[in-house]
Amino acid sequence: MTGPRIVGTRIPGLLLVSLPVHGDARGWFKENWQREKMVGMGLPDFGPVQNNISFNAAVGTTRGIHAEPWDKYITVASGRVFGAWVDLREGAGFGTVFTAEIDVGQAVFVPRGVGNAFQTLDPGTVYSYLVNDHWSPHATDQYVLLNLADETLDIGWPIPLVEAEVSAKDRGHPGLADVTPMPPTTVLVLGADGQLGRALRAALPNAEFATRQTFDLADDASYLRDWSNYSVIINAAAYTDVDGAETAAGRRLAWAVNATGPARLAEIAAAHRITLVHVSTDYVFDGAGAPYDEGAPLSPLGVYGQSKAAGDLAVTAAAGRFYIIRTSWVIGQGKNFVATMAALAARGSAPTVVKDQTGRLTLADDLAAAILHLVESRAPFGTYNVTNSGTPTTWADLARAVFERVGKDPGLVVDVSAADYFKDRTAAPRPENSVLDLTKLESSGFRTRDWKDALVQYPVQAGD
Protein backbone atom coordinates (compact mmCIF):
# COMPACT_ATOMS: atom_id res chain seq x y z
CA MET A 1 0.00 0.00 0.00
CA THR A 2 1.54 3.28 -1.08
CA GLY A 3 1.67 5.86 1.70
CA PRO A 4 1.18 9.62 1.61
CA ARG A 5 3.71 11.88 -0.09
CA ILE A 6 4.57 15.33 1.24
CA VAL A 7 5.76 18.16 -1.01
CA GLY A 8 6.88 21.66 -0.05
CA THR A 9 5.61 24.82 -1.71
CA ARG A 10 6.91 28.34 -2.35
CA ILE A 11 5.44 29.38 1.01
CA PRO A 12 7.70 28.07 3.81
CA GLY A 13 5.89 25.54 5.97
CA LEU A 14 2.90 25.18 3.61
CA LEU A 15 2.89 21.51 2.62
CA LEU A 16 0.91 19.52 0.05
CA VAL A 17 0.08 15.97 1.04
CA SER A 18 -0.95 13.32 -1.49
CA LEU A 19 -3.28 10.82 0.17
CA PRO A 20 -3.83 7.34 -1.30
CA VAL A 21 -7.53 6.74 -1.93
CA HIS A 22 -8.65 3.11 -2.12
CA GLY A 23 -11.96 2.43 -3.84
CA ASP A 24 -14.23 -0.39 -4.96
CA ALA A 25 -17.90 -0.84 -5.77
CA ARG A 26 -18.85 0.31 -2.27
CA GLY A 27 -17.06 3.65 -2.51
CA TRP A 28 -13.62 4.73 -1.27
CA PHE A 29 -11.44 4.87 1.84
CA LYS A 30 -8.42 6.98 2.79
CA GLU A 31 -6.27 7.57 5.84
CA ASN A 32 -6.96 11.25 6.27
CA TRP A 33 -4.58 11.82 9.17
CA GLN A 34 -2.18 9.21 10.51
CA ARG A 35 0.12 10.84 13.01
CA GLU A 36 2.99 8.37 13.20
CA LYS A 37 3.22 7.85 9.46
CA MET A 38 2.90 11.51 8.46
CA VAL A 39 5.20 12.90 11.13
CA GLY A 40 7.76 10.31 10.08
CA MET A 41 7.58 11.71 6.55
CA GLY A 42 8.12 15.30 7.64
CA LEU A 43 4.70 16.72 8.53
CA PRO A 44 4.87 18.72 11.79
CA ASP A 45 3.54 16.95 14.87
CA PHE A 46 1.09 19.78 15.29
CA GLY A 47 -1.26 18.22 17.87
CA PRO A 48 -4.79 18.85 16.54
CA VAL A 49 -7.51 19.46 19.15
CA GLN A 50 -10.54 20.44 17.05
CA ASN A 51 -12.11 19.17 13.80
CA ASN A 52 -14.29 21.50 11.71
CA ILE A 53 -16.38 20.67 8.64
CA SER A 54 -17.78 23.12 6.09
CA PHE A 55 -20.58 21.95 3.75
CA ASN A 56 -20.87 24.03 0.59
CA ALA A 57 -23.96 23.40 -1.49
CA ALA A 58 -23.19 25.47 -4.58
CA VAL A 59 -20.34 25.62 -7.05
CA GLY A 60 -18.41 28.87 -6.61
CA THR A 61 -18.84 29.18 -2.86
CA THR A 62 -15.73 31.14 -1.82
CA ARG A 63 -14.39 31.66 1.71
CA GLY A 64 -11.37 33.57 3.03
CA ILE A 65 -8.69 34.90 3.07
CA HIS A 66 -8.09 34.25 6.78
CA ALA A 67 -4.74 33.79 8.55
CA GLU A 68 -5.29 32.33 11.99
CA PRO A 69 -3.09 32.00 15.11
CA TRP A 70 -2.87 28.21 14.81
CA ASP A 71 -1.91 25.50 12.35
CA LYS A 72 -4.49 23.82 10.10
CA TYR A 73 -4.62 20.52 8.24
CA ILE A 74 -7.12 20.75 5.37
CA THR A 75 -8.75 17.96 3.39
CA VAL A 76 -11.80 17.48 1.17
CA ALA A 77 -14.25 14.72 2.02
CA SER A 78 -16.40 15.22 -1.07
CA GLY A 79 -16.02 17.33 -4.21
CA ARG A 80 -13.18 19.64 -5.24
CA VAL A 81 -11.90 23.05 -4.27
CA PHE A 82 -9.52 25.60 -5.68
CA GLY A 83 -7.33 26.57 -2.74
CA ALA A 84 -5.39 29.83 -2.40
CA TRP A 85 -2.85 30.56 0.31
CA VAL A 86 -1.05 33.82 1.06
CA ASP A 87 1.85 34.24 3.45
CA LEU A 88 0.70 36.92 5.90
CA ARG A 89 3.51 36.48 8.43
CA GLU A 90 6.13 39.09 9.19
CA GLY A 91 9.18 38.65 7.00
CA ALA A 92 10.49 38.63 3.46
CA GLY A 93 7.84 36.16 2.29
CA PHE A 94 4.90 38.44 3.15
CA GLY A 95 2.40 38.41 0.28
CA THR A 96 3.68 35.22 -1.40
CA VAL A 97 0.81 33.31 -3.07
CA PHE A 98 0.35 29.61 -3.76
CA THR A 99 -2.69 27.95 -5.37
CA ALA A 100 -3.70 24.35 -6.03
CA GLU A 101 -6.77 22.27 -6.82
CA ILE A 102 -7.63 19.88 -4.00
CA ASP A 103 -9.84 16.81 -4.15
CA VAL A 104 -10.22 13.80 -1.84
CA GLY A 105 -6.69 12.65 -2.71
CA GLN A 106 -4.91 15.72 -1.37
CA ALA A 107 -4.45 17.50 1.92
CA VAL A 108 -2.70 20.74 2.85
CA PHE A 109 -0.84 21.66 6.02
CA VAL A 110 -1.22 25.40 6.64
CA PRO A 111 1.12 26.90 9.26
CA ARG A 112 0.13 29.67 11.64
CA GLY A 113 -0.06 33.04 9.91
CA VAL A 114 -0.59 31.78 6.34
CA GLY A 115 -3.87 33.06 4.92
CA ASN A 116 -6.24 30.38 3.67
CA ALA A 117 -9.08 30.60 1.13
CA PHE A 118 -10.97 28.21 -1.12
CA GLN A 119 -13.56 28.16 -3.88
CA THR A 120 -15.74 25.11 -4.49
CA LEU A 121 -15.65 23.49 -7.95
CA ASP A 122 -18.33 20.82 -7.38
CA PRO A 123 -21.78 21.00 -5.78
CA GLY A 124 -22.07 19.50 -2.32
CA THR A 125 -18.38 19.96 -1.49
CA VAL A 126 -17.40 18.97 2.04
CA TYR A 127 -14.31 20.79 3.28
CA SER A 128 -12.76 19.54 6.53
CA TYR A 129 -9.89 20.79 8.67
CA LEU A 130 -8.08 19.98 11.88
CA VAL A 131 -6.68 22.81 14.03
CA ASN A 132 -4.35 22.70 17.00
CA ASP A 133 -6.05 25.27 19.19
CA HIS A 134 -9.65 25.70 20.30
CA TRP A 135 -11.61 28.44 18.63
CA SER A 136 -12.74 31.26 20.93
CA PRO A 137 -14.09 34.77 20.41
CA HIS A 138 -10.78 36.09 21.77
CA ALA A 139 -8.84 34.17 19.12
CA THR A 140 -10.54 36.04 16.28
CA ASP A 141 -8.89 39.23 17.51
CA GLN A 142 -5.59 37.73 16.31
CA TYR A 143 -6.80 36.86 12.79
CA VAL A 144 -5.16 38.57 9.83
CA LEU A 145 -7.77 39.10 7.10
CA LEU A 146 -7.15 39.85 3.41
CA ASN A 147 -9.46 40.75 0.55
CA LEU A 148 -10.06 37.91 -1.92
CA ALA A 149 -10.04 40.36 -4.83
CA ASP A 150 -6.77 42.14 -4.07
CA GLU A 151 -5.26 42.80 -7.50
CA THR A 152 -1.66 42.59 -6.31
CA LEU A 153 -2.19 38.91 -5.47
CA ASP A 154 -3.27 38.00 -9.01
CA ILE A 155 -5.16 34.90 -7.84
CA GLY A 156 -6.72 33.18 -10.82
CA TRP A 157 -10.09 32.27 -9.32
CA PRO A 158 -11.75 29.69 -11.64
CA ILE A 159 -15.10 31.39 -11.09
CA PRO A 160 -14.86 35.20 -11.14
CA LEU A 161 -15.55 36.65 -7.72
CA VAL A 162 -18.35 38.82 -9.10
CA GLU A 163 -20.20 35.57 -9.93
CA ALA A 164 -19.15 33.65 -6.82
CA GLU A 165 -20.98 33.14 -3.54
CA VAL A 166 -18.98 35.33 -1.12
CA SER A 167 -20.07 36.71 2.24
CA ALA A 168 -20.29 40.45 2.69
CA LYS A 169 -17.73 40.19 5.50
CA ASP A 170 -15.17 38.48 3.25
CA ARG A 171 -15.72 41.07 0.50
CA GLY A 172 -14.99 43.82 3.02
CA HIS A 173 -11.54 42.68 4.13
CA PRO A 174 -8.61 45.08 3.54
CA GLY A 175 -6.15 44.89 0.67
CA LEU A 176 -2.60 43.63 1.13
CA ALA A 177 -1.19 47.15 1.46
CA ASP A 178 -3.38 47.75 4.53
CA VAL A 179 -2.74 44.41 6.26
CA THR A 180 -0.68 44.22 9.42
CA PRO A 181 1.38 41.01 9.21
CA MET A 182 1.02 38.37 11.89
CA PRO A 183 4.00 38.58 14.25
CA PRO A 184 5.97 35.43 15.03
CA THR A 185 5.45 33.50 18.22
CA THR A 186 7.65 34.49 21.12
CA VAL A 187 10.23 32.79 23.31
CA LEU A 188 9.64 33.47 27.02
CA VAL A 189 12.73 33.32 29.24
CA LEU A 190 12.12 32.98 32.98
CA GLY A 191 14.92 33.82 35.38
CA ALA A 192 16.25 36.49 33.06
CA ASP A 193 18.30 38.18 35.79
CA GLY A 194 20.42 35.08 36.49
CA GLN A 195 23.70 34.13 34.87
CA LEU A 196 22.07 31.95 32.21
CA GLY A 197 19.26 34.48 31.78
CA ARG A 198 21.77 37.20 30.98
CA ALA A 199 23.50 34.97 28.43
CA LEU A 200 20.12 34.24 26.83
CA ARG A 201 19.41 37.98 26.57
CA ALA A 202 22.40 38.24 24.25
CA ALA A 203 21.56 35.07 22.33
CA LEU A 204 17.82 35.81 21.93
CA PRO A 205 17.42 39.58 21.58
CA ASN A 206 13.81 39.27 20.37
CA ALA A 207 12.62 37.06 23.22
CA GLU A 208 10.47 38.17 26.14
CA PHE A 209 12.39 38.18 29.41
CA ALA A 210 10.89 37.81 32.87
CA THR A 211 12.67 38.27 36.18
CA ARG A 212 11.36 37.10 39.53
CA GLN A 213 9.68 40.49 39.91
CA THR A 214 7.63 39.95 36.74
CA PHE A 215 7.18 36.16 36.89
CA ASP A 216 7.51 34.40 40.22
CA LEU A 217 7.20 30.62 39.91
CA ALA A 218 5.83 30.50 43.46
CA ASP A 219 3.06 33.06 42.75
CA ASP A 220 -0.26 31.89 41.30
CA ALA A 221 -0.85 35.25 39.60
CA SER A 222 2.22 34.82 37.39
CA TYR A 223 0.56 32.01 35.44
CA LEU A 224 -2.50 34.11 34.51
CA ARG A 225 -1.49 35.27 31.04
CA ASP A 226 -2.34 34.58 27.40
CA TRP A 227 -0.03 31.69 26.48
CA SER A 228 -1.20 31.33 22.88
CA ASN A 229 1.57 33.41 21.33
CA TYR A 230 4.51 31.61 22.95
CA SER A 231 6.36 28.88 21.09
CA VAL A 232 9.08 28.18 23.67
CA ILE A 233 9.43 28.69 27.42
CA ILE A 234 12.97 28.56 28.78
CA ASN A 235 12.80 28.06 32.53
CA ALA A 236 16.13 29.34 33.81
CA ALA A 237 14.57 30.32 37.14
CA ALA A 238 15.25 28.31 40.28
CA TYR A 239 15.70 28.49 44.02
CA THR A 240 19.45 27.85 44.18
CA ASP A 241 20.35 28.48 47.83
CA VAL A 242 21.58 24.95 48.45
CA ASP A 243 22.15 25.47 52.15
CA GLY A 244 19.10 27.69 52.67
CA ALA A 245 16.91 24.92 51.29
CA GLU A 246 17.68 22.89 54.40
CA THR A 247 15.79 25.40 56.58
CA ALA A 248 12.03 25.24 57.12
CA ALA A 249 11.32 28.38 55.09
CA GLY A 250 13.86 27.51 52.43
CA ARG A 251 12.45 24.01 52.03
CA ARG A 252 8.98 25.36 51.28
CA LEU A 253 10.30 27.90 48.79
CA ALA A 254 12.60 25.39 47.09
CA TRP A 255 9.72 23.01 46.49
CA ALA A 256 7.41 25.78 45.31
CA VAL A 257 9.93 27.14 42.79
CA ASN A 258 11.86 24.02 41.75
CA ALA A 259 9.08 21.41 41.75
CA THR A 260 5.58 22.90 41.73
CA GLY A 261 6.54 25.70 39.35
CA PRO A 262 7.96 23.41 36.63
CA ALA A 263 4.94 21.12 37.04
CA ARG A 264 2.62 24.03 36.28
CA LEU A 265 4.75 25.14 33.35
CA ALA A 266 4.65 21.57 31.99
CA GLU A 267 0.85 21.55 32.09
CA ILE A 268 0.72 24.92 30.32
CA ALA A 269 3.22 23.77 27.70
CA ALA A 270 1.20 20.64 26.99
CA ALA A 271 -2.07 22.58 26.70
CA HIS A 272 -0.64 25.18 24.30
CA ARG A 273 1.84 23.05 22.27
CA ILE A 274 4.75 25.03 23.70
CA THR A 275 8.25 23.61 23.86
CA LEU A 276 9.45 23.76 27.47
CA VAL A 277 13.18 24.03 28.17
CA HIS A 278 13.77 23.32 31.85
CA VAL A 279 17.23 23.85 33.31
CA SER A 280 18.22 21.26 35.90
CA THR A 281 21.34 20.43 37.89
CA ASP A 282 23.96 17.86 38.79
CA TYR A 283 22.53 17.95 42.33
CA VAL A 284 19.83 15.47 41.29
CA PHE A 285 22.60 12.84 41.73
CA ASP A 286 24.49 11.72 44.84
CA GLY A 287 27.93 11.81 43.24
CA ALA A 288 28.63 8.10 43.60
CA GLY A 289 27.98 7.04 39.99
CA ALA A 290 29.71 9.61 37.79
CA PRO A 291 29.99 10.16 34.94
CA TYR A 292 26.21 10.38 34.72
CA ASP A 293 24.36 9.89 31.46
CA GLU A 294 20.81 11.13 30.90
CA GLY A 295 19.25 7.83 31.94
CA ALA A 296 21.02 7.57 35.30
CA PRO A 297 18.63 7.06 38.22
CA LEU A 298 17.97 10.13 40.32
CA SER A 299 19.53 10.08 43.79
CA PRO A 300 19.58 13.59 45.31
CA LEU A 301 21.20 14.11 48.69
CA GLY A 302 19.64 17.35 49.93
CA VAL A 303 16.44 19.36 49.68
CA TYR A 304 17.68 21.47 46.78
CA GLY A 305 18.51 18.37 44.72
CA GLN A 306 15.29 16.65 45.76
CA SER A 307 13.15 19.60 44.69
CA LYS A 308 14.99 19.86 41.35
CA ALA A 309 14.59 16.11 40.76
CA ALA A 310 10.86 16.44 41.41
CA GLY A 311 10.69 19.23 38.85
CA ASP A 312 12.48 17.06 36.30
CA LEU A 313 9.98 14.25 36.84
CA ALA A 314 7.01 16.62 36.54
CA VAL A 315 8.28 18.02 33.25
CA THR A 316 8.99 14.55 31.88
CA ALA A 317 5.52 13.33 32.80
CA ALA A 318 3.44 16.27 31.60
CA ALA A 319 5.15 18.55 29.12
CA GLY A 320 5.22 16.41 25.95
CA ARG A 321 7.57 18.78 24.08
CA PHE A 322 10.45 19.36 26.45
CA TYR A 323 14.18 19.59 26.89
CA ILE A 324 15.54 19.06 30.39
CA ILE A 325 19.03 20.56 30.49
CA ARG A 326 21.22 19.13 33.24
CA THR A 327 24.24 21.27 33.95
CA SER A 328 26.79 22.08 36.65
CA TRP A 329 29.10 24.80 37.94
CA VAL A 330 27.56 27.57 35.80
CA ILE A 331 29.64 30.72 35.35
CA GLY A 332 28.34 33.84 33.63
CA GLN A 333 27.82 37.53 34.30
CA GLY A 334 27.37 38.29 37.97
CA LYS A 335 28.53 36.88 41.28
CA ASN A 336 30.06 33.42 40.90
CA PHE A 337 32.98 31.25 41.96
CA VAL A 338 35.35 32.46 39.24
CA ALA A 339 34.68 36.13 39.95
CA THR A 340 35.12 35.51 43.70
CA MET A 341 38.44 33.75 43.19
CA ALA A 342 39.65 36.53 40.87
CA ALA A 343 38.80 39.13 43.50
CA LEU A 344 40.62 37.17 46.21
CA ALA A 345 43.61 36.82 43.92
CA ALA A 346 43.67 40.56 43.36
CA ARG A 347 43.82 41.14 47.10
CA GLY A 348 46.63 38.61 47.54
CA SER A 349 44.41 36.35 49.64
CA ALA A 350 45.08 32.64 50.20
CA PRO A 351 41.61 31.06 49.96
CA THR A 352 40.81 27.64 51.37
CA VAL A 353 39.00 25.67 48.66
CA VAL A 354 37.44 22.18 48.61
CA LYS A 355 39.72 19.61 47.01
CA ASP A 356 37.49 16.51 46.86
CA GLN A 357 34.45 17.60 44.83
CA THR A 358 34.86 16.95 41.12
CA GLY A 359 32.98 18.29 38.11
CA ARG A 360 33.17 20.45 35.01
CA LEU A 361 32.70 24.17 34.55
CA THR A 362 29.83 25.43 32.38
CA LEU A 363 30.11 28.86 30.79
CA ALA A 364 26.68 30.45 30.58
CA ASP A 365 27.27 31.49 26.96
CA ASP A 366 27.97 27.86 26.00
CA LEU A 367 24.91 26.70 27.91
CA ALA A 368 22.73 29.26 26.10
CA ALA A 369 24.18 28.21 22.74
CA ALA A 370 23.46 24.54 23.45
CA ILE A 371 19.85 25.34 24.34
CA LEU A 372 19.38 27.29 21.10
CA HIS A 373 20.94 24.44 19.14
CA LEU A 374 18.55 21.85 20.58
CA VAL A 375 15.48 24.03 19.99
CA GLU A 376 16.40 25.33 16.55
CA SER A 377 17.64 21.98 15.21
CA ARG A 378 14.51 20.28 16.57
CA ALA A 379 16.61 17.66 18.28
CA PRO A 380 14.59 14.79 19.76
CA PHE A 381 12.82 15.87 22.92
CA GLY A 382 14.16 14.63 26.23
CA THR A 383 16.96 15.19 28.73
CA TYR A 384 20.41 16.45 27.73
CA ASN A 385 23.56 16.97 29.78
CA VAL A 386 25.26 20.29 29.00
CA THR A 387 28.59 21.35 30.48
CA ASN A 388 31.84 22.44 28.98
CA SER A 389 34.03 19.55 27.88
CA GLY A 390 37.53 18.65 28.98
CA THR A 391 39.17 16.85 31.86
CA PRO A 392 37.11 17.08 35.06
CA THR A 393 38.57 19.20 37.83
CA THR A 394 38.05 20.04 41.50
CA TRP A 395 37.01 23.33 43.02
CA ALA A 396 40.53 23.78 44.37
CA ASP A 397 42.18 23.17 41.00
CA LEU A 398 39.65 25.47 39.35
CA ALA A 399 40.58 28.15 41.86
CA ARG A 400 44.24 27.70 40.93
CA ALA A 401 43.32 28.01 37.24
CA VAL A 402 41.56 31.30 37.98
CA PHE A 403 44.60 32.61 39.87
CA GLU A 404 46.74 31.77 36.84
CA ARG A 405 44.16 33.36 34.54
CA VAL A 406 44.55 36.72 36.31
CA GLY A 407 48.31 36.48 36.67
CA LYS A 408 48.50 35.55 40.35
CA ASP A 409 50.33 32.74 42.16
CA PRO A 410 48.16 29.58 42.11
CA GLY A 411 50.18 28.29 45.05
CA LEU A 412 48.20 30.65 47.30
CA VAL A 413 45.16 28.34 47.03
CA VAL A 414 44.93 26.05 50.07
CA ASP A 415 43.33 22.60 49.71
CA VAL A 416 40.76 21.42 52.23
CA SER A 417 38.42 18.44 52.36
CA ALA A 418 34.69 19.07 52.10
CA ALA A 419 34.21 17.53 55.54
CA ASP A 420 36.63 20.00 57.13
CA TYR A 421 35.39 22.97 55.09
CA PHE A 422 31.78 22.49 56.22
CA LYS A 423 32.32 21.02 59.70
CA ASP A 424 31.40 24.18 61.59
CA ARG A 425 28.65 25.28 59.20
CA THR A 426 25.03 24.38 58.56
CA ALA A 427 25.42 23.00 55.07
CA ALA A 428 23.59 20.72 52.68
CA PRO A 429 25.26 17.56 51.44
CA ARG A 430 26.87 17.92 48.02
CA PRO A 431 27.73 15.33 45.35
CA GLU A 432 31.44 14.44 45.45
CA ASN A 433 31.59 13.75 41.72
CA SER A 434 29.07 15.41 39.44
CA VAL A 435 30.67 14.86 36.03
CA LEU A 436 27.98 14.63 33.33
CA ASP A 437 28.41 12.51 30.20
CA LEU A 438 28.13 14.64 27.04
CA THR A 439 27.70 11.88 24.45
CA LYS A 440 24.02 12.58 23.77
CA LEU A 441 24.57 16.32 23.30
CA GLU A 442 27.48 15.70 20.94
CA SER A 443 25.39 13.17 18.98
CA SER A 444 22.86 15.97 18.38
CA GLY A 445 25.58 17.91 16.54
CA PHE A 446 26.74 20.26 19.28
CA ARG A 447 30.13 20.30 21.00
CA THR A 448 31.02 22.61 23.87
CA ARG A 449 34.44 24.16 24.39
CA ASP A 450 37.00 22.66 26.72
CA TRP A 451 36.42 24.42 30.03
CA LYS A 452 40.06 25.51 30.18
CA ASP A 453 39.77 27.24 26.80
CA ALA A 454 36.48 28.80 27.86
CA LEU A 455 38.03 30.09 31.08
CA VAL A 456 40.83 31.77 29.11
CA GLN A 457 38.18 33.66 27.12
CA TYR A 458 35.98 34.43 30.12
CA PRO A 459 35.99 38.23 30.63
CA VAL A 460 37.21 38.40 34.22
CA GLN A 461 40.02 40.52 35.61
CA ALA A 462 41.58 40.66 39.02
CA GLY A 463 39.45 42.94 41.12
CA ASP A 464 36.11 42.11 39.40
Closest CA to 196 of 279, 283, 257: 279
Catalytic residue among 66, 292, 323, 384: 66
3-class SS of residue 411: helix
Which residues have a Cβ under 8 Å from the Cβ of 192 and sit 6 or more positions away? 198, 200, 201, 209, 210, 211, 236
**In the annotation, is 239 catalytic?**
no
Beta strands (DSSP E) in 166-239 are: 186-190, 208-210, 230-235
**Alpha-carbon distances of 111 from 5, 32, 185, rounded to whole Å:** 18, 18, 12
304-308's contacts with Cβ under 8 Å and 24+ in sequence apart are: 304/239, 304/240, 304/241, 304/242, 304/245, 304/254, 304/258, 304/428, 305/281, 305/431, 307/239, 307/245, 307/254, 307/255, 307/257, 307/258, 307/259, 308/238, 308/258, 308/259, 308/280, 308/281, 308/283, 308/284
Alpha helices in 235-385 (DSSP H): 248-255, 261-272, 303-318, 337-346, 364-376
Identify any residues that bridge with 109 across adjacent strands, giving them in sequence order. 15, 73
Catalytic residue among 22, 73, 127, 129: 129
Query: C-alpha 119: how far from its chain's center?
Result: 37
Query: What would you measure as the largest C-alpha separation in the chain, in angstroms?
Result: 93
Are the C-beta atoms of 198 and 242 separated by less than 8 Å? Answer: no
Identify any residues that bridge with 442 across adjacent strands, giving them in sequence order. none
Crossing angle of the two packed helices 195-203 and 364-376, in degrees rounded to 10: 50
- The answer, yes or no, to whether the previous bond of 44 is cis (omega within 30 of 0) is no
Burial 338-368, CB ≥16 within 10 A → b, else e: bbebbbbbbeeeebebbbbbbbbbbbbbbbb
Identify any residues that bridge with 108 across adjacent strands, giving them in sequence order. 16, 74
Write out the H or E segment, with its range, that includes residue 200. Answer: helix 195-203
**In the annotation, is 129 catalytic?**
yes
Write out the H or E segment, with its range, that includes residue 53. Answer: strand 50-56
If you write DSSP's letter for every residue of 303-340 in order, what string do you get? Answer: HHHHHHHHHHHHHHHH-SSEEEEEE-SEE-SSS-HHHH
Active site residues: 66, 129
